[in-house]
């Protein structure tokens, strides 16, 4: 039974603010405590995370879902909505389903990312990216898969995506769309200087090592799910592999990935 709900919203989106207020009032009527874990403290850990915004807001919510090992529901008030499928017009119906335990759980794979230089570890629902960031010149990244050389990329960056992330930045950079239940990772160069460098799909248990090439002085940054996490310098390495950790997405209605994909690509004019 749900006693506490964590509500995370895009505060710059007035529709999201209004919808979150509506959800808070509904949950309070059902004697469920609410708070925003981004801005408020609570003595009780939430039983569920609900996000109000687009896929970017859901990615923020995913960090708290991972932290507390709880399910995550996204109310779609953004422009894309591959992950945040629930319609705000049916908000009360969705909240009732959560309270009454009438929903399905869909698990999504995560990436485990580690930095030998700093000792930091991260998890990603969508992707990990080494990018030139605000620097004007291309970067050169040497990529290894299971200790074997995959290639040396002179590019704006390189993406390692989950199947969930295959419809995000990786797709924009020319990567394939991958069904989210597959156990794999997608390596996608960003604006590579060579046409020979194509996206590649590797098993989820593969060990990817990305090295900022040592032959020239360069700087870059590591981004996890769109958030800048670390500055990188010549010779720095980032290690990426799959993990047993999963994100649990709440589905009120049956999830039709291919139907959703057709609708979204049609909306984008692709």
- Written as one string, the DSSP assignment of 15-31 is HHHHHHHHHHHHHHHTT
Contact of 46 with 77, CB cutoff 8 Å: no
Residue 236 phi/psi, 5-degree rounding, is -65, 150
Q: Tell me which residue of 103, 128, 100, 101 sits closest to 114, measured CA to CA.
A: 128
Q: Tell me which residue of 120, 136, 153, 141 sits closest to 230, measured CA to CA.
A: 120
Q: Is 55 annotated in the active site?
A: yes
Rg (CA), the chain: 20
Q: How far apart are CA 202 and CA 173, in angstroms?
A: 17
Q: Which of 47, 55, 127, 256 does the annotation list as catalytic?
A: 55
Q: What is the CB neighbour count within 10 angstroms for residue 223?
A: 20
Look at the block and give the residue holding tokens 């609708």. 263
Return the active site residues: 55
């Amino acid at each position: 039974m749900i006693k506490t709900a964590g509500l995370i919203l895009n505060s710059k989106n007035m529709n999201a603010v209004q919808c979150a207020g509506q959800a808070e009032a509904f949950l309070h009527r059902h004697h469920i405590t609410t708070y925003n874990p981004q801005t408020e403290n609570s003595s009780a850990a939430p039983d569920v995370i609900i996000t109000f915004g687009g896929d970017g807001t859901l990615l923020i919510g995913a960090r708290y879902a991972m932290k507390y090992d709880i399910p995550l529901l996204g109310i779609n008030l953004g422009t894309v909505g591959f992950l945040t499928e629930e319609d705000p017009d049916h908000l009360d119906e969705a909240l009732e389903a959560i309270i009454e335990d009438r929903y399905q759980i869909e698990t999504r794979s995560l990436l485990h990312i580690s930095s030998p230089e700093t000792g930091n570890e991260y998890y990603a629902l969508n992707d990990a990216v080494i990018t030139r960031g605000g620097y004007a010149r291309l970067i050169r990244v040497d990529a290894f898969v299971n200790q074997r050389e995959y290639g040396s990329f002179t590019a704006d960056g390189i993406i390692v995506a989950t199947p969930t992330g295959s419809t995000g930045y990786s797709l924009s950079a020319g990567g394939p769309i991958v069904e989210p239940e597959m156990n794999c990772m997608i390596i996608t160069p960003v604006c590579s200087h060579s046409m020979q460098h194509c996206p590649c799909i590797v098993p989820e248990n593969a060990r990817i090592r990305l090295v900022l090439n040592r032959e020239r002085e360069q700087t870059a940054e590591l981004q996890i799910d769109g958030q800048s996490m670390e500055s990188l310098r010549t010779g720095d390495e980032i290690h990426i592999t799959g993990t047993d950790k999963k994100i649990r997405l709440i589905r009120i209605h049956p999830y039709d990935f291919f139907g959703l994909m057709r609708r979204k690509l049609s909306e984008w004019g692709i």
